[in-house]
Structures are given as C-alpha cells and as structure tokens.
Amino acid sequence: MRSASLREDVVRASGPPAAAMKRIVAALRAVFNFLELNLVLVVACLPVVTVPLACQAATVSLERWRAAGEDRVVREFVAALRSRPPLRATLSAGMPFVVAAIAVEEVHFFFRGGTAGNWVSLGFGVAALLGALASIGYVLLLGARLPLLAPTDLWYLSVQLAVRNVLLTGPLFVGEFAAAVLLLLLNPALALIGVPLGLLCLVRSTADLGVRRSGLDRLQGS
C-alpha cells in the first residue's frame, strides 16, 4: 500500500511539469512552423508576379493548419501550389492586388491635388484602394475554401462581402495593411521574422469574421 501511494505521489508531482513541457514544445513548434511558412512565403513572392499565387497557397496552408491541425505547413503550401492551375489561381487571387496597385499609383499621382479634376481622381483612387484592400482578404479566404469557384463568381462574392461588412471589417483591413507597411518601412528585415505571414493571418481572420457574420460559413461547412 505504501508503495502504491508513493507511486501516486510521484505521478501527481510529475504530472504538471510534464503537461507544461508538452505545452512549451507545442508552442515552440507553432513558432517554428510560423517562421518556416513565412520564409517560404517571402521567397515565393520575390518574382512579384507570384504574390497572389503565393498568398493563396499560404492561406490554404493556414486553413489546413487551423481546421485540420495539419502542421506540416510547408508541405501544404507546396501541395496548394501544385494542385491548382497557376494561371487560374493567379487570375482568381490577383485581381484585387492589381486594382490595389493601380489605385496606389493613382493616389500617388494625384496626391498634390490642385484642380477639381485632380481632387476627384484622388477621391476615386482612395475609394478603389480601400475597396481592393477590403476585398483581398475575402478573395484569399474564399479561394482557399472554394477552389472550384469560377474567378468571376469569386470576385463578385468577395466584393459583396466587402460592401456588406464595410463598417466592420473595412477599417480592420485598412489598419492591418497600414501597420504592416509601416513596420516594413521602419525595418525591412522584419519581413524575415513574420510580418508578411502575420499580416496574412490577420487578414484571413478578419475575412473569416465577415464570412461568419454573413452566415456563409454554414454553406461552406467551416
């Protein structure tokens, strides 16, 4: 009896440290996976024209990590790149990126104002930029969850969600992109330690909030 009681005391004494160690290992593994996926994302975005495709693949990897607990994030990233036709995936995810790039150039060109026409053009540029930033998250999230959706349907649904949730998710999207750009301007090296993937995680979460608020999560079974 004394021997059994002693073993129980040892188990109780070693239980919490063992559980804490498991949590620490899980946390360290999550950090490693995050940094690993961020590095792969940065490298895949280097040609610039691959930014939409890389962001879409990273979103798929994040979705698999969140929903199915699949923590082999690089494997999922590569699988997403291989399983989707590059041209179709780039076209589907790339439209809001293109609109945002054009809008940034227009805002930069007309920023000084001057004539009434310049101010009107500046206003249109700002509106287009805000709309594009608000749509990027929905395009990436829905593209990850509904890979067979036609590009035109994906764009229409994303814009619809962006407009419907403009007061809720609109400011969040703008704040997330602005914070990421500011951090990278202050120190470009932050791109290697998580800012790009951190932005993508925030954008994905914000888009998921808009989707759940609109009730579309039930249609996707997510």
Sign of torsion over alpha carbons 57, 26, 176, 104: negative
Residue 6 to residues 11, 13, 17, Cα–Cα distance (Å): 9, 11, 18
For the stretch 17-39, pLDDT in tens is: 777 777 887 788 888 889 999 99
CB 86 within 8 A of CB 53: yes
Give Cβ neighbours of residue 147 (< 8 Å, ≥ 6 apart): 84
Q: What is the number of structural domains in the chain?
A: 1
Mean pLDDT throughout 3-26? 60
E strand intervals along 79-148: none
Range of the domain at 168: 2-220
pLDDT tens digit string along 62-117?
Answer: 998 887 777 788 999 999 988 888 888 888 888 999 999 898 888 888 877 678 77
Label residue 5 by pLDDT band (50, 70, 90).
low
Q: Cα(113)–Cα(85) distance, rounded to whole angstroms?
A: 43
> What percent of the chain has pLDDT above 70?
89
Tell me the C-alpha distance between 25 and 21, whole Å.
6
Q: Does residue 165 register a pLDDT over 70?
A: yes
Coil, strand, or helix at residue 52? helix
**187-196: pLDDT as tens digits:** 999 999 999 9
Q: What is the mean pLDDT of residues 176-183?
A: 94
* SS3 per-residue string spanning 30-42: HHHHHHHHHHHHH
